[in-house]
Chains A and B, each alone.
Chain A
């Protein structure tokens, strides 16, 4: 057989699709034929090179950048409302604590202005948290 005829077998040989008998025949030919041997060797080098290309690690921060671009971070409406209620709660507790403290001090020292000033400041904070809603009444 000529090398061109062997070439048809070489494809199957490389793909591992030959019977043992045919495989032995091809290998006998390869041991005698430099061009066919070069063909098979080149083919195997190509496969080896392709199979051995490195598996690269994902660059640092790439996943974060992708997720941030695809699904921009935003505070949910529920979470936003929750934060407002929490802020109002903290402010109310502070107001209560201040009222007790300054009321006690006021009785001791008679400094009523300091209590009014603190009260106004805390009420202002609560209004900030609730927007325009006035939950604790108007200023005297």
Chain B
């Protein structure tokens, strides 16, 4: 689990006023979290780097919209979520929620035999919204309420997406697990 970095509001406000050193401090504090979030969306180092840059450029452009009365991290997560999902949707062959079905698993001999490699391949194929909820839950350890807040969706939708994502992965894995029992 990757704990959220401690970003002081003062740093954010200084960065908002155009202080280059403060913005750098902000990027340094958030870079690891953001790069890993981006990587879990694209599973490719080059694209993850581009996506990370895009998130921070958007952050810089939108800093004046941050309301200092509220905590910074949820606001940043919402911004990062939108950039990630829009980025992924703009890529060709992005999976869609409608197309996402909990389909019957392929035969055990179909694709990688290693359950871990198989899971990885299936995770990469998930729609961006599903990847995002999985990342927030398993990488950052956020609660359902915090994920809902970051993604601007009802908690019930978070639960549904989590269930469907895990169900899809589990169904893909089950035939392989059965052979291991």
Contacts and interface: CB of A to CB of B under 8 A. Distances in A.
Q: Do A and B come from one complex?
A: yes
Interface of A: 11, 34, 37-39, 41-43, 45-47, 49-51, 53, 55-59, 62-63, 65-67, 69-71, 73
A77 B143 CA distance: 48
A69 to B, nearest CB: 6
Nearest to B174: A42
B39 A67 contact: no
Contact of A63 (B18, B24, B36, B166): B24
Interface of B: 1-2, 18, 20, 23-24, 27-28, 31-32, 35-36, 39-40, 45, 48-49, 52-53, 56-57, 60, 115-116, 119-120, 123, 134, 137-139, 163, 166, 169-171, 173-174, 177-178, 180-181
Nearest to A67: B24
A65 B139 CA distance: 26
Contact of B31 (A45, A55, A58, A71): A58
Contacts of A73: 20
Given A38-B178, A42-B174, A43-B166, A58 B32 contact: yes
B174 A39 contact: yes
Contacts of B120: 49
